[in-house]
């Protein structure tokens, strides 16, 4: 059974608006969470991470929020740009060597 | 810096044939991972090596799959015999020794078994 779920296979957002991608996990032992971005015909590239001791981590236009009680994390992109159009994977685990990935959300930013 | 290098990028072969996928991790990284990406299950971990030793192969689907890491700069994933349901994109990733360093992925091998 999937331990990390991304329930929205796709999301479309207007350029300049906020994109919010969501991810749920089932294992309360998970303490390390990441988001990866993937363009077609390329491998996933690391975007941002957060450990369980924090509830927010920000890097430029990208912010990851962690709600441990709800076992939920989200990625906010603001403002969204056409170059952000990609598939975004959420990953969670008990360390970098023990990660479970979601099925991905395809983000389309409309110019 | 060179990233994780995978070859071939594409492989098309007939059912029953042996398939070998190759990976060169980032120099200095000591952990290597093989993943399979499918629409239904996303990225699934097949096997993970640390310092060239297989640590967790619980994700390897069947005995038809095998993986080796003869040295720190090379790993193979072999499927013998291949079946149509093995068609997927296979990714290799590596990471370094510091705790919670993110995994770095190669560009994958798209495998099609006819």
Counting residues of chain B whose pLDDT is more than 70, the rounded percentage is 98
**Residue A13 pLDDT exceeds 70:** yes
Q: Which of B16, B49, B31, B52 is nearest to B104 (CA)?
A: B31
Q: How confident is the model at residue B101 (pLDDT cuts 50, 70, 90)?
A: confident
Q: Exposed (0-12), middle (13-18) or buried (19+): which is B87, by Cβ within 10 Å? A: middle
Q: Do B102 and A96 touch (CB under 8 A)?
A: yes
Is B114 at the interface with chain A, CB within 8 A? no
pLDDT band at A18 (very low <50, low <70, confident <90, very high): very high
CB A43 to CB B4 under 8 A?
yes
For A11-33, what is the mean pLDDT? Answer: 97
Minimal CA separation from B47 to chain A, in Å: 11
User: A54-63, B56-65, B77-86 — which is least confidently predicted?
Assistant: B56-65
For chain A, what is the radius of gyration of the CA atoms?
Answer: 13
CA distance A72 to chain B (A): 18
DSSP state of B101: P
Rounded to an integer, the average pLDDT of A10-17 is 97
A104 Cβ under 8 Å from any chain B Cβ: yes
**pLDDT value for B1:** 62
CA distance B84 to chain A (A): 21
Query: A34 — contact with chain B (CB < 8 Å)?
Result: yes
Q: What is the pLDDT of residue B100?
A: 75
What mean pLDDT is reported for chain B?
A: 93
Q: Is the pLDDT of residue B9 over 90?
A: yes
Query: Which residue in B39, B103, B106 is closest to A99 by CB distance?
Result: B103
Comparing B61 with B90, the larger pLDDT belongs to: B90
Tokens in use for B89?
């994109």
- Check whether A2 has a pLDDT greater than 90: no
Alpha-carbon dihedral of residues B13, B16, B46, A101, nearest 10 degrees? 50
- Mean pLDDT over B96-114 rounds to 90
Span B63-78, mean pLDDT?
96
Rounded to an integer, what distance in angstroms lies between the CA atom of residue A34 and that of residue A49? Answer: 4
Provide the percentage of residues in chain A whose pLDDT is more than 90. 93
> pLDDT of A27-79, one tens digit each?
999 999 999 999 999 999 999 999 999 999 999 999 999 999 999 999 999 99
Identify the closest residue of chain B to A103 by CA–CA distance. B42
Whether B12 and chain A come into contact, CB under 8 Å, resolves to no
Instruction: Name the β-bridge partners of B112.
Output: B12
Q: How far apart are CA A58 and CA B55, in angstroms?
A: 33
């Amino acid at each position: 059974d999937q331990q990390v779920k991304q329930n929205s296979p796709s999301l479309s957002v207007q350029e300049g608006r906020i994109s919010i991608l969501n991810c749920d996990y089932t294992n309360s032992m998970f303490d390390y969470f990441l988001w990866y971005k993937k363009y077609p015909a390329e491998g996933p590239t690391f975007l941002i991470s957060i450990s369980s001791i924090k509830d927010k981590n920000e890097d430029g236009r990208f912010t990851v929020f962690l709600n441990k009680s709800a076992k939920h994390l989200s990625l906010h992109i603001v403002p969204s740009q056409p170059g952000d159009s990609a598939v975004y994977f959420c990953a969670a685990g008990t360390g970098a060597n023990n990660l479970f990935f979601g099925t991905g959300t395809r983000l389309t930013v409309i110019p | 810096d060179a990233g994780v290098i995978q070859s071939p990028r594409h492989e098309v072969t007939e059912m029953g044939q042996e398939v070998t996928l190759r990976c060169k991790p980032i120099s200095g990284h000591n952990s290597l991972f093989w993943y399979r990406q499918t629409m239904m299950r996303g990225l699934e971990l097949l096997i993970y090596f640390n310092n060239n030793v297989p640590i967790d192969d619980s994700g390897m689907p069947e005995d038809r799959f095998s993986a080796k890491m003869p040295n720190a700069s090379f790993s193979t994933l072999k499927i013998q015999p291949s079946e149509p349901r093995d068609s997927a994109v296979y990714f290799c990733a590596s990471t370094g020794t510091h705790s919670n360093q993110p995994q770095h992925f190669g560009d994958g091998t798209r495998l099609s078994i006819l």
